[in-house]
Amino acid sequence: MTTPVNEDECYAKIAQKFNKRENLKVICIQGPSASGKSTLCDSIRFLLRAAGKEVFVLNIDNFLQTKPKNVDYYDFDSPATIQWNKVNEILKAFDNKEEKLAIYRYSYKDSESSGPVLIDNKNPEYLIVEGLYAHYLFSDYFFDIENISPLKSHDQIADVYVKNNFKFNNFSVLKIAFSISKEKMMEIRVKRDSQKRKIDSSFVEWQINEQTWPATEKWVYNYEITQPDLILENGSFNYDGLISLKKGFIKFWEQNESFDINSFYKSPYTIPYCDRK
């Protein structure tokens, strides 16, 4: 494991992980709430599409299960809220180059899951997997889901893992971890949730103190289990690290995939953090 410090270090790790040209290249981004996972995801997707490469983004949040009715306590940050079997199914579809993909959607407004909707599998060259616990999909150990429940608080759940049975034969996986401080998380979430989701700020503060941050420390930051390849402290707010990471990707594409950086500047759109000077 290493924290990305410069472009060359990032490039070396990317080249090491993506050394099998025939495999689907999986960029797996894990980090706490409000750490900026989607910012990096969107930037990489934009760069790949600008270069004419097929890329698919799999957001684990879309696989949240419908919240049960009339429950007194529910922890949205529990690993047991995810329909992991459905996530495994779509990953298997990519791995086996199946014709169709089963897509799900989650409504935060209604706390309901919908799907599946079947779409064509375009067999992308890159797959971006983003989520709170995304790295566990590609780790040696996984959550003991049978003994975890969102109806229980984190301190009622033993920190126990089982051998990971999710196996993929045709993936090359790069695991990128984001971190964020509790204070920064609180600042962003209170502002975002109160404005966009109309959630009372006092509830947001309670949720972070009692659920989100304990889950972050217990499961998201358990690097001994998840073994990330690159760690970006302060997430997308670490601008120097973010630039180094993006330049590392661009260097890999230039040197290994006949990637023409000049094609970006023919676009009318601004390319974030791609200044090569």
Give domain status of residue 71, yes or no: yes
Q: Are 82 and 67 spatial neighbours (Cβ–Cβ below 8 Å)?
A: no
Long-range contacts of 143-151 (CB under 8 A, 24+ apart): 143/79, 143/80, 143/84, 143/219, 145/79, 145/80, 145/84, 148/78, 148/79, 148/80, 149/78, 149/80, 150/74, 150/75, 150/76, 150/78, 150/80, 150/81, 151/68, 151/71, 151/73, 151/74, 151/75
Average pLDDT, the chain: 91
Q: How many domains does the chain have?
A: 1
Instruction: Give the least confident one: 41-45, 142-146, 192-196.
Output: 192-196
Predicted pLDDT of residue 127:
99
- On whether residue 260 sits in a domain, the answer given is no
Residue 268 lies in a domain: no
Domain assignment of residue 1, yes or no: no
Residue 135 within any structural domain of the chain: yes
Whole-angstrom distance, CA of residue 21 vs CA of residue 6:
25
Which CATH number goes with the domain that contains 195? 3.40.50.300
Give me the mean pLDDT over the 259-272 stretch.
56
Q: For the segment 52-98, what is each residue's pLDDT rounded down to a tens digit? A: 889 999 999 999 999 999 999 999 999 999 999 999 999 999 999 99
Residue 6 domain-assigned (yes or no) = no
Is residue 155 assigned to a domain? yes
* pLDDT value, residue 265: 55
Provide the domain limits for residue 132.
Answer: 20-252
- Average pLDDT on 37-43 reads 92
Task: Report yes or no on 55 lying in a domain.
Answer: yes
